Amino acid sequence: METLGIWIGALGTLAILSFLFRENPFFRTAEHLFIGLAAGIGIFYGYQTIVTNAWNPLFNPADGEVRKWFLIVPLVLGVLLYTRFLNKGKWISRIPLGFLVGVGSALAIRGVIGASFMSQILATMQLPLWHTMAKFKIDSILFILGVIGTLIYFYFSREQKGPLKVGASIGKWVMMIAFGAAFGNTVMARMSLLVGRIYFLLGEWLHIL
Amino acid sequence: MLEEIIVVNRLVLLGLTVAISVALLIAIRQAKKGKKFFIRRIAGLEAIDEAVGRATEMGRPVHFSPGIASLSEETAAQTLAGLAVLGYVARLTAKYDTELIVTNRMPEVLPITEEVVRQNYLSQGKSENYNPDNIVFLSDEQFAYAAGCMGIMSREKVAANIMMGAFWAESLIFAEGGFAAGSIQVAGTANTHQLPFFIAACDYCLIGEELFAAGAYLSQDPMQVAGIKVQDLGKIVAVLLIIIGTVTTTCNWPVICEFLARFAS
């Protein structure tokens, strides 16, 4: 069984990699298999999640556990999503969708104000203007100017003219340097993934390594 | 006593949340009353017109992806901004009778993309050209969705590939698939770790908050426009705080920084 799994994995890898040449029947087969399998697994896990997290605690609680009546709310909201298939009751599906969007927004606000806004500001505020930063080996004033320039780049209420244009240009350069570094870093990580695949093909599959 | 009721070290965050919420409500109210807030045009947006125009000239479809985030995550705002851009793209494709293919990863986003495209075809008087079969759900598995998108882009020979929303490791796969299909590519995401790939592989790119501003600019929705105004206000506050903080730190007077460090952690 393990050998069969290795063969399927190896052939699937080669079929997907064949896209590098061009779109072909092998890639198409692997693509459709991948999507089909993902759909099948998704249905299974979806069913399991509903049974484990909602149905059982609500209708078949384990011995000694209290029946969790409030779970009827997400269960009903979930069922309401299917009303989009009704011609006249289509609008009902907007209620659970609205709930989902509301939860998403609330989560975003919670995370953004603390981690993405205040912590970043505070970290920059604590830098003295003339001081070599140990981590980056650059003068902190360059770093501060870079942060302010990047903020100016994303200021949308005025046209970028005069001082705003200068600030935005600084911001743009700083971002491009940061993106370049991130690009190189991620390419290295992807190379290690490729090496892992090649090891799998040459080692586990062909036993050359 | 106070510490028993609320978490004292987050007092500043609470104040900020309240202040931002109030500012947002005021801005929304003003926008709904008809006050026009100015948002500068973003260069990458003009590229969307160019991309759809190219697809129209070539008689080939436009592919749009609203990203892979769901609507119940922190990144939901990116999906919503992407959907606003989708509305604009749908208006253009309806106007020029160009085929539009929208691929979805998240099941809950599918009905919204369907509705956005349908409404915009209707607004252009081209409801007969709206094809629900072109708004597809592929898979909620990240790389299965990526493989499906690559296949569609290649088989349908899309002339324009527009990606607006939250993307992760599949970003470069999409961009490479679009490039292989010979399409002009416009992308936008606020996921900073994926931006380098879009910048390197796409013809035009909306960076970070430009995606949200684009959504607001194109939809002119009072809620979204007001959101951008309040965010700009936040940036002014941030710049002021940084200037005050660095100057006071340099002068060895760290009272402000210490106060914020204590009550905004």
Q: Are residues A121 and A153 in the same domain?
A: no
Residue B84 burial class via C-beta count within 10 angstroms: exposed 0-12, middle 13-18, buried 19 and up = buried
Q: Are residues A144 and A209 in the same domain?
A: yes
Q: Are residues A133 and A122 in the same domain?
A: no
H-only helix segments in A18-93: 25-50, 56-59, 72-80
Tell me the chain B residues in contact with residue A29 when contact means C-beta distances shorter than 8 Å: none
pLDDT tens, residue order, chain A (209 aa): 789 999 999 999 999 999 988 889 999 999 999 999 999 999 999 999 999 999 999 999 988 888 999 999 999 999 999 998 898 998 999 999 889 888 877 877 777 777 778 888 999 998 888 877 766 667 888 989 999 999 999 999 999 999 999 999 999 999 999 999 999 998 899 899 999 999 999 999 999 98
The two tokens of residue B197 are 């790939």
pLDDT tens, residue order, chain B (265 aa): 666 677 778 888 889 889 999 999 999 999 889 888 899 988 888 899 999 999 999 999 999 999 999 887 778 889 988 999 999 999 999 999 999 999 999 998 999 999 999 999 999 999 999 999 999 999 999 999 999 999 999 999 999 999 999 999 999 999 999 999 999 999 999 999 899 999 999 999 999 999 999 988 888 888 888 989 999 999 999 999 999 999 999 999 989 999 988 888 7
Q: How far apart, in whole angstroms, are the C-alpha atoms of residue A204 and residue A15?
A: 17
Q: Mutate which of B38, B139, B142, B173 to disrupt the A interface (most A C-beta within 10 Å)?
A: B139
Residue in this structure with the two tokens 């990203």, named with its chain if needed? B67
Q: Are residues A112 and A187 in the same domain?
A: no
B201-230 residues touching A, CB cutoff 8 A? 207-210, 213, 228-229
Residue ending a domain, choose from A51, A67, A83: A67
Q: Are residues A133 and A92 in the same domain?
A: no
B72:A100 CB<8 A = yes
3 state SS of B137: strand
Shortest distance, CA A114 to any CA of chain B (angstroms):
6
Domain that holds residue A133: 129-209
Q: Are residues A137 and A191 in the same domain?
A: yes
Q: Are residues A166 and A120 in the same domain?
A: no
**pLDDT at residue number B125:** 96
**pLDDT at residue number B223:** 82
Q: Are residues A135 and A198 in the same domain?
A: yes
A20-79 residues touching B, CB cutoff 8 A? 22-23, 27-28, 30-31, 34-35, 37-39, 41-42
Q: Is A129 on the interface with B (CB under 8 A)?
A: yes
* Whole-prediction pTM: 0.91
Residue ending a domain, choose from A126, A147, A165: A126
**pLDDT at residue number B3:** 66
Burial B86-123 (b: 16+ CB within 10 A, else e): bbbbbbbbbbeebbbbbbbbbebbbbbbbbbbeebbee
In Å, what is the CA distance from A41 to each residue of A17, A34, A188, B60? 23, 10, 31, 34
A34:B12 CB<8 A = no
**pLDDT at residue number A135:** 67
Tally of structural domains, chain A: 3
Residue ending a domain, choose from A107, A126, A145: A126
Residue-wise pLDDT for A171-188, tens only, equals 999 999 999 999 999 889
Q: Are residues A202 and A134 in the same domain?
A: yes
Q: Are residues A109 and A143 in the same domain?
A: no
B238:A111 CB<8 A = no
Q: How far apart, in whole angstroms, are the C-alpha atoms of residue B115 and residue B113?
A: 5
Q: Which of B38, B144, B238 sits opposite A151 (nearest CB)?
A: B238
Q: Are residues A209 and A139 in the same domain?
A: yes
Q: How far apart, in whole angstroms, are the C-alpha atoms of residue A170 and residue A160?
A: 12
Q: Please answer whether residues B210 and B218 qualify as being in contact, where contact means their C-beta atoms are separated by less than 8 angstroms.
A: no
Q: Are residues A53 and A120 in the same domain?
A: no
B40:A147 CB<8 A = no
**pLDDT at residue number A134:** 67
Residue in this structure with the two tokens 């005021």, named with its chain if needed? B26
Contacts of residue B52, defined as CB under 8 A and 6 or more positions apart, other chains included, come to: B62, B89, B92, B93, B96, B98, B160
Q: Is B15 on the interface with A (CB under 8 A)?
A: no
